[in-house]
């Protein structure tokens, strides 16, 4: 279903992250990002590539390509953003604060620098990580990513209106 639970990676026939025991969650302050069974997919060794999903998707979006990055010499990591898939919600809006969660996630995994590939919502989160933590991002690829406001207040009036309609 994408948000707040969803099907486990094991149930979907996708291999969970082999580096962490089943059910492990990486603590990030008062919440956790799931690190296996759909909440985090990881494979390979080498320079880190973080794959950020669209909303309301999950890391399952990248299940087929995590191993492909690994075979090409990268450590590929696809987390569920907070409140999506098997990651706990942290009470923060993913567009406004998803970048903070990703930086905490990188810290928890001991990753100083990473390339970020983000689709839609993930592209916006990745762009915000790059804008606020340029020293942590080696490359940024945004696939249909939402933009970020660098010179004007955020969120924009249009986003505020959209959120008020959805909520």
pLDDT for residue 39: 52
pLDDT digits (tens, 9 = 90+) for 40-57: 688 889 999 999 998 888
Q: What is the DSSP letter of 144?
A: S
Q: What DSSP element (H or E) covers 49? A: strand 48-52
pLDDT for residue 150: 64
Alpha-carbon gap, residue 83 to 14, rounded angstroms:
20
What value does the mean pLDDT take over residues 85-97?
79
At residue 15, the 3 state secondary structure works out as coil
Torsion sign, CA atoms 126, 62, 46, 42: positive
């Amino acid at each position: 279903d994408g948000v707040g639970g969803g099907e486990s990676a094991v149930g979907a026939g996708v291999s969970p992250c082999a580096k962490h025991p089943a059910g492990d969650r990486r603590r990030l302050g008062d919440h956790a990002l799931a690190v296996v069974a759909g909440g985090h997919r990881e494979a390979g060794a080498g320079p880190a590539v973080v794959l950020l999903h669209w909303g309301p998707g999950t890391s399952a979006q990248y299940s087929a390509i995590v191993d492909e990055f690994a075979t090409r010499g990268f450590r590929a990591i696809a987390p569920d953003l907070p409140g999506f898939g098997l990651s706990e919600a942290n009470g923060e809006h993913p567009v406004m604060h998803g970048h903070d969660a990703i930086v905490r996630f990188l810290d928890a995994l001991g990753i100083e620098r990473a390339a970020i590939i983000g689709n839609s919502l993930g592209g916006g989160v990745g762009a915000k990580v790059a804008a606020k933590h340029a020293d942590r991002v080696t490359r940024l690829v945004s696939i249909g990513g939402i933009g970020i406001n660098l010179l004007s207040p955020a969120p924009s009036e249009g986003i505020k209106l959209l959120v008020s309609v959805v909520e």
